[in-house]
A and B are shown apart, each in its own frame.
Chain A
Amino acid sequence: DAGVIQSPRHEVTEMGQEVTLRCKPISGHDYLFWYRQTMMRGLELLIYFNNNVPIDDSGMPEDRFSAKMPNASFSTLKIQPSEPRDSAVYFCASSSSLGGADSNQPQHFGDGTRLSIL
């Protein structure tokens, strides 16, 4: 079975440019999560969706960040305009609520997008 697929794997762009990260969750999963990982702050939850609806975006650092999930098989995380401090590895994860919303189903992570803003 295909896991969580993220694209691109690496992105290098100049400050001020718009960056779009993409994620395809595992088919049938109804939760989708976006994380950011840096050496300084570790793994941080940015936002998560349930059935394509954003549930908690309190981790989104500022208005330059936005996330969408137009359908069950696709999500984007956009940064506009990008800044050097946005450089990090961004992970997407998905999980199922099989057995109920509190079923403790594990999260399945993609391989991440390594973003460098020059």
Chain B
Amino acid sequence: DAKTTQPNSMESNEEEPVHLPCNHSTISGTDYIHWYRQLPSQGPEYVIHGLTSNVNNRMASLAIAEDRKSSTLILHRATLRDAAVYYCILRAFLGGNQFYFGTGTSLTVIP
């Protein structure tokens, strides 16, 4: 699986938007971009995924660069409950449904 690079940590003020970046310069044309998050003392939780087009769901938005070498997870209005480690993962189209997690970004939300 291709590698992803994320900042180790980020901070955001409560009720402000948060942009979490991810670089994946070796992505192949059929790799999907997945985001999961892990709240303290819990298992990872699915957030969103996409291939080429930007994606929106009730939790977040995913903006994918035109060349697909980077993506950004957007939390439109951070709350204290969004404090978690966010993982950006590439999944090969024919990868057999497994995921390889990197080190992720630890998001701190400041009240």
Contacts and interface: CB of A to CB of B under 8 A. Distances in A.
Interface string A51-63: 0000110000000
Nearest to A55: B96
16 contacts: A4-B43, A31-B97, A33-B99, A42-B102, A42-B103, A42-B104, A43-B87, A43-B101, A44-B101, A45-B101, A48-B97, A95-B97, A104-B34, A107-B46, A111-B42, A111-B43
Interface of B: 32, 34, 36, 41-46, 49, 87, 91, 93-104
A4 B96 CA distance: 20
Interface of A: 4, 31, 33, 35, 42-45, 48, 50, 55-56, 91, 93, 95, 97, 101-102, 104-112
B97 A50 contact: yes
Contacts, number: 60
Nearest to A108: B46
Contact of A42 (B91, B95, B98, B101): B101
Contacts of A4: 43
Query: Per DSSP, are chain B's interface residues mostly helix, strand or loop, or mixed?
Result: loop
B100 A45 contact: yes
Contact of B49 (A35, A93, A101, A106): A106
Contacts of A105: 97
A55 B36 CA distance: 23
A4 B45 CA distance: 12
A56 B44 contact: no
